[in-house]
Structure 1
Amino acid sequence: MIRTSFAVSALLLAICGTASAADNPALKKCMDSAETTLAMVTCNVKETKVQDARLNRAYKTALGAQEGERKKQLQDVQRLWIQYRDANCAFVGSATGGTIDQVNGSGCVLDMTQTRAQELEDLVGP
């Protein structure tokens, strides 16, 4: 049972850890040198701050491009998205009960934030 849990955790780490790192040299370098759970979480948190700043810029731009009811809808959608991201990543971050959950949870927040930033950027174009 422990071996199965470890194998599943390693697989989840590989999947979650490579999704963002594949397109991000700084994150990949950080993760490649991370030797502890704390170091991996720190890599994810550091990159999440970068992506969160990107998301905030994209949200302000997208919001400024909307008028009337569309502006209100985007505000509502963004609030709901934040609730969903937080709940989803809390779920992902509690899958095994082990320390790898911290990496998976922080990786989830990073991946979802990066994806949402791109979605918002796409609302108004390049």
Structure 2
Amino acid sequence: MRFPLVSAAALAFLSAPAWSAQSDCMTTATTQQAMNACAGQKLKASDQQLNTTYNALLAKTSKPGGEQLRKAQRAWVAWRDAQCQFDTLGTRQGSVNPMVYTLCVNDLTQQQTKHLAAQLHCEEGDLSCGGQ
């Protein structure tokens, strides 16, 4: 089955509120190559923030907690990548695919950073916090 270059789902995906926060270079880029580069820059910054948060949480957790955090993070990365491959299937043959895929990865990376930050800043006695 062939997919159109930009499906209705992909257009909705691109116009989602998560992408609006990334509008600075995305609105000024005039070529697909520039939009791809912009999405890549945003992902790089998000990935650095995730790594900083992850390492801070890892330093704060117990040894068993750290082992579980590493295991969970590896599983999360595999899930994130597979999810974005699925979510961007409709653009797979198009030049927009690298940007759409990167924006998906960026969005999920930002969500994971928030999740890990919540774990990092848990109040004592909060039973939803693990590994500490």
Q: TM-score, normalised by structure 1?
A: 0.79
CA contact (8 A) 1:93 1:103 kept: no
**How much identity, in percent, do the aligned residues show?**
28
Deviation of 1:122 after TM superposition, in Å, equals: 1.0
* Corresponding position: 1:118 with 2:114: yes
Which has the higher mean CA deviation after the structures are superposed, 88-97 or 43-52?
88-97
Partner of 1:58: 53
Aligned positions of 1:1-126 closer than 5 A:
5=4, 8=7, 12-16=10-14, 18-23=16-21, 27-96=22-91, 97-125=93-121
**Which structure 2 residue ranges, 5 or more long, are not aligned?**
123-132
Structure 1 outlier segments of 4+, above 4 Å: none
Q: TM-score, normalised by structure 2?
A: 0.76
C-alpha distance in 2 between matches for 1:48 and 1:62: 21
**Which structure 1 residue ranges, 5 or more long, are not aligned?**
none
When the two chains are superposed, the root-mean-square deviation of aligned CA atoms in Å is 2.5
Deviation of 1:8 after TM superposition, in Å, equals: 2.1
Which has the higher relative contact order, 1 or 2, with Cα contacts under 8 A spaced 6 or more apart?
2
Report how many aligned residue pairs link the two structures: 120
Higher share in helix = 1
